[in-house]
Amino acid sequence: MHAAAINLRGGVSPRGIRLRGQSIIEYVLIIAVIGLVIVFAGPSVAGTIRNQFNLVGDAVNSGATGGVEDGGTSGGGSTGADSATVQAAIAKDAKDWTLGEQKAVAEDIATKGKASPAYAKAKAAMDAGTKFTMKLTDGKTLEYRIIGINHDDLADGSG
């Protein structure tokens, strides 16, 4: 072998080869993938976050309304005709309903409409102009009454 045939440099080094423009294409592809993820997954992520805020707001709201009245029952628990709160409200005179009982009756009527066993008693209280009172934390008394029961649709969307 002749000395001129031996290449001491070892040929073309792979480290020496640079592909121009390849990094720009990679950046464009990465940005495109991120954009697609934002476009397609963004609304569902936003909906999930919104639902979580609503759940937290509902939990805070129900906790705040449960402790306002003295000696009554809070509005938590199950609602409907089988609810002990609704049954207790039906057994009492409407003017003696606690705030929790009023809430349970309202939810039962929202779910079942006129089929609710509490509907007749609530409508009679509304027609009679029954006034309810509640003592507020600042010592003042709030007086209110039922002004309407009509609704466009049942709360569960069934009719």
The pair of structure tokens assigned to 138 is 């600042």
- Residue 14, in any domain of the structure: no
pLDDT per position as a tens digit, 44-76:
777 777 777 777 776 666 655 544 444 444 444
Number of domains in the chain: 2
Among the listed ranges 7-21, 44-58, 137-151, which one has the minimum average pLDDT value?
Answer: 7-21
Dist. CA 1–CA 139, nearest whole Å: 111
**Entry pTM:** 0.44
Structural domain including 53 reads: 19-66
- 47 and 100 in a single domain? The answer is no
The pair of structure tokens assigned to 67 is 């402790």
78 phi, psi to nearest 5 deg: -80, 155
Dist. CA 105–CA 96, nearest whole Å: 13
- Residue 156, in any domain of the structure: no
Which of 32, 66, 100 marks a domain boundary? 66
- 141 and 88 in a single domain? The answer is yes
